[in-house]
């Protein structure tokens, strides 16, 4: 029979599909392996000192990742400090306050922020936002917090602070949409009981909605963190690209991703290239761990909240 | 519990309402700010030559990014050819064969991890496996990098869309004696067609705006692409190079290209989202 004969293709189809699934696993393993073996030269020469050394000198062939790691951490920290509270309160606005129609439009607009390509944030950041920071925001900060070491130095616009704010804008939609989904999962009965006892919207948000969703919020922050730390183009445009650690947030700096973007094609010596690959390995390992933590955490939370 | 006066509670509630509305406004304000800047600066750079000419040397009049548009389309097209079939089949594996198996769980997990991997890492990876052995930057390497970024996205959306198809449909086809591959390709795919197309469009839109993975795979070039086995002119790296250059007319060109990319990516996103919304509300 014809069908019988056609069924002979089934095992092949099954293997083909399984093979495509395995390609994904192979890719992830391959990326790790190539970065690991590609950085062998640098790992042997610098050892663990690579992670803490501040020197980055292609001429003397001394390389250390400290300034790049520092820049990634600080810019991400600024981004999270701004994005987390802002996303949380926007999500509350969308779920608790806004009428459905407004909520849909505002929610859609916030999600649109996520689909603007990274390089567009870079263009806007370099030509529009950095001058704005230099002219208005940084002088103000210097005046208010002038005594602090964070706000010292000339207001150039480009630098750590500007990069952090732009990163905040870029991760905002991710954290907002996950948080919003979690808030809508809070059972209406629980909220209505609180309202029935005479609570105000703020009290319901603070004592019912947020505590109910707190685990999910933590997971969402992990996801945002993973995004922010690996973000490349927007940061490369505005961070200034300087291999030095400075306490001032106005100063030019760099991040792991921006160093890779700027220097990879210039690296002519093997040890230079190998050091850059090791930077990539560090970044891959960090985002991998963050993703792992976020996925496990969100999975556990969802199971707890009764949604598989 | 400490007693608070009604007025104080009302006041903090009002404060919350104002702050929350303000936060939403801030988000929207930045969106409008970015889009209006891209629109107003970009539109000035756009004319006929912009689409048909290749880049002119600095200081020379005219020139355009026609070659970059062509190169971006070429590489995205090749990336679709590699990434979409693989992703569709990977999604079939997750939805049809690997639902409750440990392997399926592992693949799904890796998929999520790959989606969160910085795209510049993919660039480094492709540089090591393709650019170094082939000894030159090439459009092929760029396309492979874009395909790697598309793959997990297409896989996950395919899985989601296929698992939305009612099992009754699947089972009745199987009960008629149809082979599994025919059920999948002939029954499930048509049933999930709209969702699959949406997923693929969103993935394509996403990689079109990518620049980090192209920086050291496709590189860039001021010439019209003749073969994919050479550095290929493309929009996003052109934007990067021109924006960093000191020449005002190059920077203007970068704004034009930014407008084009934004319009393309946002247009595709809004279009597909609207389509989805329209379908689910009818």
Q: Confidence band (pLDDT; 50, 70, 90) for A244?
A: confident
Residue A306 has pLDDT above 70, yes or no: no
* Cα B68 from Cα B181, distance rounded (Å): 40
Angle at which helices B119-126 and A210-230 cross, to 10°: 30
Residue B57 has pLDDT above 90, yes or no: no
Q: Measured between CA atoms, how close is A247 to chain B, in angstroms?
A: 26
- Please report the pLDDT score of residue A305 as a whole number: 67
Average pLDDT over residues B106-112: 92
In chain A, what percentage of residues exceed pLDDT 90?
Answer: 59
Pick the range with the lowest mean pLDDT from A111-120, A218-227, B32-41, B135-144.
A218-227
Whether A119 sits inside 8 A of B255 (CB atoms) is no
Residue A254 has pLDDT above 50, yes or no: yes
In chain B, what percentage of residues exceed pLDDT 90?
Answer: 70
Residue B177 has pLDDT above 60, yes or no: yes
- Please report the pLDDT score of residue B202 as a whole number: 87
Whole-number mean pLDDT of chain A?
Answer: 90
Average pLDDT over residues A91-100: 93
Taking only the tens place, the pLDDT of each residue in A125-161 is 999 999 999 999 988 888 887 777 788 888 888 899 9
Local structure of residue A63 (DSSP, 8 states): E
Average pLDDT over residues A208-231: 89
Average pLDDT over residues A238-266: 90
Local structure of residue A47 (DSSP, 8 states): T
For A178, the enclosing helix (H) or strand (E) is helix A160-184
Among B17, B93, B251, beta carbon nearest to A97: B17
Whether B114 sits inside 8 A of A24 (CB atoms) is yes
Among B23, B181, B239, beta carbon nearest to A93: B23
Whether A106 sits inside 8 A of B92 (CB atoms) is no
Taking only the tens place, the pLDDT of each residue in A4-45 is 788 888 899 999 999 999 999 999 999 999 999 999 999 999
Q: A with B: how many residue pairs have Cβ under 8 Å apart?
A: 264
Local structure of residue A266 (DSSP, 8 states): G
Whether B24 sits inside 8 A of A232 (CB atoms) is no
Among B17, B128, B269, beta carbon nearest to A201: B17
């Amino acid at each position: 029979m014809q069908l019988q004969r056609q069924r002979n293709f089934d095992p092949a189809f099954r293997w083909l599909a399984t093979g495509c699934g395995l390609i994904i696993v192979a890719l992830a393993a391959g990326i790790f392996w190539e970065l690991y073996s590609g950085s062998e030269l640098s790992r042997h020469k610098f050892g663990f000192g690579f992670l803490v050394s501040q020197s980055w000198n292609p001429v003397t062939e001394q390389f250390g990742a400290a300034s790049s790691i520092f820049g990634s951490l600080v810019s991400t920290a600024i981004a999270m400090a701004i994005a987390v509270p802002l996303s949380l309160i926007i999500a509350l606005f969308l779920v608790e306050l806004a009428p459905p129609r407004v909520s849909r439009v505002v929610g859609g607009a916030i999600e649109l922020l996520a689909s603007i390509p990274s390089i567009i944030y870079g263009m806007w950041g370099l030509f529009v936002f950095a001058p704005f920071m230099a002219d208005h925001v940084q002088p103000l900060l210097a005046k208010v917090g002038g005594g602090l070491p964070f706000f010292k130095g000339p207001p150039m616009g480009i630098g750590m602070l500007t990069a952090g704010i732009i990163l905040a804008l870029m991760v905002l939609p991710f954290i907002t949409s996950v948080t919003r989904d979690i808030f809508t999962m809070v059972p209406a009965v629980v909220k209505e009981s609180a309202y029935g006892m005479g609570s105000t919207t703020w009290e319901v948000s603070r004592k019912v909605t947020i505590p109910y969703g707190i685990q999910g919020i933590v997971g969402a922050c992990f996801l945002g963190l993973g995004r922010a730390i690996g973000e490349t183009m927007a940061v490369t445009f505005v961070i200034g690209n300087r291999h030095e650690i400075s306490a001032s947030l106005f100063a030019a700096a760099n991040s792991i991703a921006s160093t890779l973007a700027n220097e990879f094609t210039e690296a002519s010596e093997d040890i230079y290239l190998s050091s850059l690959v090791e930077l990539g390995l560090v970044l891959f390992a960090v985002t991998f761990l963050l993703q792992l933590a976020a996925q496990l955490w969100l999975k556990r939370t969802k199971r707890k909240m009764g949604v598989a | 519990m400490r007693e608070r006066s009604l007025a104080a509670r009302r006041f903090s509630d009002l404060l919350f309402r104002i702050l929350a509305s303000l936060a939403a406004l801030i988000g929207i304000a930045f969106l409008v700010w970015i889009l209006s800047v891209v629109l107003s600066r970009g539109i000035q750079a756009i004319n006929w030559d912009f689409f048909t000419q290749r880049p002119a040397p600095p200081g020379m009049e005219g020139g355009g990014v026609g070659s970059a548009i062509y190169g971006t389309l070429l590489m995205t097209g090749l990336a679709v050819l590699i990434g979409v079939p693989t992703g569709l089949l990977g999604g079939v594996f997750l939805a049809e064969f690997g639902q409750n198996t440990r392997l399926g769980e592992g693949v799904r997990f890796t998929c999520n991890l790959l989606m969160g991997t910085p795209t510049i890492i993919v660039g480094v990876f492709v540089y090591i496996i393709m650019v170094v052995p082939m000894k030159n930057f090439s459009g092929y390497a760029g396309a492979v990098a874009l395909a790697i970024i598309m793959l997990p996205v297409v896989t996950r959306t395919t899985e989601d869309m296929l698992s939305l198809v009612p099992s009754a449909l699947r089972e009745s086809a199987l009960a008629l004696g149809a082979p599994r591959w025919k059920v999948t390709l002939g029954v499930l795919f048509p049933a999930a067609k709209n969702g699959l197309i949406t997923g693929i469009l969103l993935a394509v839109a996403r990689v079109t705006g990518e620049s980090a993975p192209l920086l050291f795979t496709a590189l860039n070039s001021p010439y019209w692409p003749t073969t994919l086995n050479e550095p290929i002119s493309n929009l996003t790296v052109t934007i990067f190079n021109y924006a960093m250059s000191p020449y005002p007319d190059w920077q203007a060109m970068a704004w034009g290209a930014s407008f084009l990319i934004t319009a393309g990516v946002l247009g595709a996103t809004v279009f597909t989202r609207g389509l989805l919304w329209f379908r689910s509300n009818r």
